[in-house]
Amino acid sequence: MKSYKWKDFFGLIHKAKPNIILFIFSCLISSISAIVATFIPSLLKRFIDSYAANERFDNKLLLSLIAIFILNAIVSVLAGYLLSVVGLKVIANLRKITWSKIVKLPVAYFDKHESGDIASRVVNDTNVLYTLVSNSFSQFINAILTILFCGFWMFYYDWKLSLIVVIALPLFLILFIPLGRKMSKLSKEVQKSTGELNVNAFEMISENKLVKSFTAEGEQISKGVRVIDHLKNIGVQRAKWIATVNPILNLIMMMIIFSIVGFGGVQLANGNLSAGTFMAFLTLIFYIIGPITNFGVFFTQLQQAKGATERISKIHAESEENIHEGNIFDITDKDIEFKDISFSYNTERESSFSLQNINLVIKGGHTYALVGPSGSGKTTLISLLERFYKPTSGSIYIGKENIESYSLNSWRSQIGYVSQEHTLINGTIRENLLFGLEDECPNEEKIIQACQMAYAWEFIEKLPFKLDSHIGERGLELSGGQRQRIAIARMFLKDPKIILLDEATSSLDSQSEEKVKLAMRKISEGRTAISIAHRLSTIVDAENIIFLENGEITGIGKHVELQQTHRLYNQFCEQQLQA
């Protein structure tokens, strides 16, 4: 990806669609509050000079001062609330578009990035913008207006005293330039380390049984502590920079104040300056300290936000799947042809594997079994058909039409896929069964029928809340076989034209497997069914068997034919019988 520039940063904020009118209105209110506050020293001067001249308080001026203080407080509260609303909406919108973007990213992206790190970008990285939008922008505008108005009054009262402040201002800005750059760099490191911590936490929590069974608690604690310590060290570096700059800023401010008190005191003693003017000038100095500091802090936070949001911008720069682009066809009973298909993964961990020159015709309405050693390319072949990946070369056709011409939504909606991982979502059984079927929600009778076909109803009806029973994260409150049967029932409800089974009965006992196989035969009638199989009982039922080795097809035929002509297949069958 190209280097992350300010244009990209502000483009990301623009994508979040901030409420510009509300933001401007909030900044305007906040600015009015800042401007009104600059008149307080003037009223204070008149109040003190009036007392010095008449030796009594001017009640009108006193009431005016109190009224301005109250009005300023009310306006500040309102502006702060409105800016917080703007900031929260920006964060919400940014999270929505980032969430939507992630959902549309291709499978290949998730192969290259850890899920915990992706989640960190949505949750943690977006938070950095909140402070910038809800607080820093308005403070920056207020700082400019306050400095301008206070500067006007200061020069109006005494231009000589004002020159002391003007000379000191560049020193503030010079300090904040290196601080901002360093903070941007450290902010990137913080977000990166936070993502790494999320990855480790996700791994440790989701694989807690693996950790305990291998007594790897010590290793997991060490991994977590290492990342936490790294985050702490980055925080210490940030604190060191801030701790170094703050005393220098305070020193400059003290020098300004001492210079003004010293020079102003001489002026006051000589009668060239009234007590009211001197107090007003000192008040203006204290008014201007905060804005000058905010001026520098704004650029520091801007650099921090830029550094933190770079990871979000990288997600938005990725190419996404357009699921609606393409034609809509009915693929019932049409032949599938793999023509000169080659494919290799682009990830480091799978760079050695590849499919090589696959040529294959799968007749519509027939059942096929993919057989072969682990890592031979069976799941990859199904993934290409599902269009999770694009072939490196070659094309896949259905009914002489390239499957790439179909919209992803149309294509995948006609395919039923049950993986060996029997993936379920956190929720109820009903929510899992109806996953992806919101537009054509089946009635209760069809849901129960699908569960019965998958032999899942026999355990569902025994649960306290039946279909509305919660099954926990990834369905962990159910057994492996129960999770698999719910996944199969979900496919029955989808009623697909092509069925893809990645060892779908792997978690079932022999009795349940036989029941599900009967249901599979029933749903496979008149449909194209492709199954990855390791059990001989599943393979024998297939009308055609495809044997893969090292990413190549080395045999196609029926069970009896391959037993006689394919040495490795015959060995495979013998091992199954011995088992």
pLDDT tens-place string over residues 6-28:
777 778 778 878 788 888 888 78
Contacts (Cβ under 8 Å, ≥6 apart) of 36: 68, 71, 72, 75
* CB-facing half-sphere around the CA of 466: CA atoms within 13 A: 7
pLDDT at 110 over 70: yes
For range 134-143, the mean pLDDT: 72
* Stronger pLDDT, 156 or 446, i.e. the higher one: 446
* Stronger pLDDT, 386 or 194, i.e. the higher one: 386
Distance CA 116, CA 134 (A): 28
DSSP-assigned letter for residue 566? -
pLDDT at 414 over 80: yes
pLDDT at 184 over 80: no
For range 256-276, the mean pLDDT: 75
Distance CA 402, CA 338 (A): 10
* Stronger pLDDT, 303 or 558, i.e. the higher one: 558
Query: Confidence class of residue 439 from pLDDT cuts 50, 70 and 90?
Result: low
pLDDT at 191 over 60: yes
Residue of 552, 575, 535, 549 lying closest to 369 (CA atoms): 535
Q: Is 342 left (phi over 0), alpha (psi -120 to 50) or beta?
A: beta
- Decide: 542 and 369 in contact? Cβ < 8 Å: yes
CB atoms closer than 10 angstroms to residue 347: 12
Indicate the residue type of 359: N
Rounded percentage of the chain residues whose pLDDT exceeds 90: 0
Distance CA 306, CA 313 (A): 10
* Stronger pLDDT, 166 or 206, i.e. the higher one: 166
Q: Which two tokens stand for residue 410?
A: 């149309």
Q: pLDDT tens digit string along 519-533? A: 677 677 778 888 887
Query: Confidence class of residue 542 from pLDDT cuts 50, 70 and 90?
Result: confident
The catalytic residue positions are 503
CB atoms closer than 10 angstroms to residue 86: 25
Query: Confidence class of residue 121 from pLDDT cuts 50, 70 and 90?
Result: confident
Q: Pseudo-torsion of CA 99, 100, 105, 107, nearest 10°?
A: 70
pLDDT at 5 over 70: yes
Number of H helices, E strands in the chain: 22, 10
Distance CA 432, CA 478 (A): 13
- Decide: 411 and 526 in contact? Cβ < 8 Å: no
pLDDT at 175 over 80: no
pLDDT at 115 over 60: yes
* Stronger pLDDT, 268 or 547, i.e. the higher one: 547
For range 400-414, the mean pLDDT: 85
Distance CA 484, CA 487 (A): 5
Q: What pLDDT is recorded for position 183?
A: 67
Distance CA 571, CA 373 (A): 11
Q: What pLDDT is recorded for position 152?
A: 80
- Decide: 394 and 380 in contact? Cβ < 8 Å: no
pLDDT at 379 over 80: yes
Q: pLDDT tens digit string along 70-94? A: 887 888 788 778 877 887 888 888 8
Q: What pLDDT is recorded for position 209?
A: 60
The string of DSSP codes covering 504-562 is TTTTS-HHHHHHHHHHHHHHHTTSEEEEE--SHHHHHT-SEEEEEETTEEEEEE-HHHH
- Identify the three-state secondary structure at position 423: coil
Phi, psi of 129 (to 5 degrees): -70, -25
Q: pLDDT tens digit string along 285-321? A: 777 777 776 666 677 677 767 777 777 888 888 888 8
Q: Pseudo-torsion of CA 78, 81, 86, 91, nearest 10°?
A: 170
Q: What pLDDT is recorded for position 519?
A: 67
Distance of CA 174 to the CA centre of its chain: 36
pLDDT at 438 over 70: no
Which alpha helices (DSSP H) does 207-274 contain, by range? 208-213, 217-269
* Stronger pLDDT, 213 or 321, i.e. the higher one: 321
Distance CA 378, CA 547 (A): 9
Indicate the residue type of 505: T
Indicate the residue type of 71: L
Contacts (Cβ under 8 Å, ≥6 apart) of 493: 433, 434, 437, 442, 446, 447, 450
Q: What pLDDT is recorded for position 23?
A: 81
Distance CA 367, CA 558 (A): 11
Q: What is the mean pLDDT of the chain?
A: 77
Q: What pLDDT is recorded for position 305?
A: 76
Percent helix, percent strand, percent coil in the chain, to nearest 5:
65, 10, 20
- Burial degree of 6 (CB within 10 A; 0-12, 13-18, 19+): exposed
Contacts (Cβ under 8 Å, ≥6 apart) of 235: 190
Task: Give the largest CA-CA distance in the chain.
Answer: 121
| Beta pairing class for 498-502 and 528-532 | parallel
Query: Confidence class of residue 433 from pLDDT cuts 50, 70 and 90?
Result: confident
- Decide: 445 and 455 in contact? Cβ < 8 Å: no
Indicate the residue type of 16: A
Q: What pLDDT is recorded for position 508?
A: 62
Q: Which two tokens stand for residue 200?
A: 């480790």
| Beta pairing class for 498-502 and 544-549 | unpaired
pLDDT at 567 over 70: yes
Asked if CATH classification 1.10.10.10 holds for the domain at 6-317, the reply, yes or no, is no
Indicate the residue type of 103: V
For range 212-216, the mean pLDDT: 62
For range 215-220, the mean pLDDT: 71
Q: Rounded to the nearest 5 degrees, what angle is found at the Cα of 109, between the Cα atoms of 96 and 93? A: 10
Q: At what angle do helices 510-524 and 480-494 cross, to 10 degrees?
A: 10
Chain length of the chain: 579
Query: Confidence class of residue 179 from pLDDT cuts 50, 70 and 90?
Result: low
* Stronger pLDDT, 398 or 242, i.e. the higher one: 398
Distance of CA 323 to the CA centre of its chain: 20
For range 354-364, the mean pLDDT: 85
